[in-house]
């Protein structure tokens, strides 16, 4: 029984991390898109738009965790497989975005306009997403959740190219 209680505590921690991710991605996306449009910055706008990938990933994880809380660990294995596939697909989408965005910037040699809100959100994204990613990896390992690990990897990848 204590193992079940420990797992439930881990699920609650995972929920908190995903809700924090959802909140931050909403703020980051809104600020980056708004600042990118105002500054005429394709890169900053795209940085904000790719927050949608992270929002989707957080929503998938919230769904998966909710399934386990409502129906138990055995039933959640099917949800984990589905969430893992979706999270993996979102991770590949993020990687494709990074490659395409980098190639586009290189090809067009388009200089970006400076944006103070964009700079602030980028500076905040690095420590916030790194902290969230580290906690997600630790909990994903304890839960044995590949979906949460993929979500954490997305969090790690974002600040690197932001």
What pLDDT score was predicted for residue 136? 94
pTM: 0.76
Rounded to an integer, the average pLDDT of 55-61 is: 87
What is the extent of the structural domain holding 154? 2-161
* CA distance linking residue 101 with residue 77, whole number of Å: 35
Q: How many domains is the chain partitioned into structurally?
A: 1
pLDDT in tens, 136-157: 999 999 998 888 888 888 777 6
């Amino acid at each position: 029984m204590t193992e079940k209680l420990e797992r439930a505590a881990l699920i609650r921690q995972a929920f908190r991390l995903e809700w924090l991710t959802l909140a931050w991605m909403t703020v980051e996306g809104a600020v980056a898109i708004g600042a990118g449009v105002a500054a005429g910055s394709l890169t900053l706008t795209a940085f904000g738009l790719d927050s949608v990938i992270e929002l989707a990933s957080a929503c998938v994880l919230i769904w998966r965790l909710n399934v386990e809380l409502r129906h138990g660990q055995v039933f959640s294995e099917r949800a984990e497989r589905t969430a893992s596939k979706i999270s993996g697909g979102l991770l590949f989408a993020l990687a494709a975005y990074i490659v395409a965005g980098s190639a586009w910037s290189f090809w067009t040699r388009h200089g970006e306009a400076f944006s103070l809100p964009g700079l602030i959100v980028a500076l905040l994204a690095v420590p916030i997403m790194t902290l969230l990613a580290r906690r997600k990896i630790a909990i994903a390992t304890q839960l044995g959740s590949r979906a949460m690990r993929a979500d954490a990897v997305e969090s790690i990848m974002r600040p690197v190219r932001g």
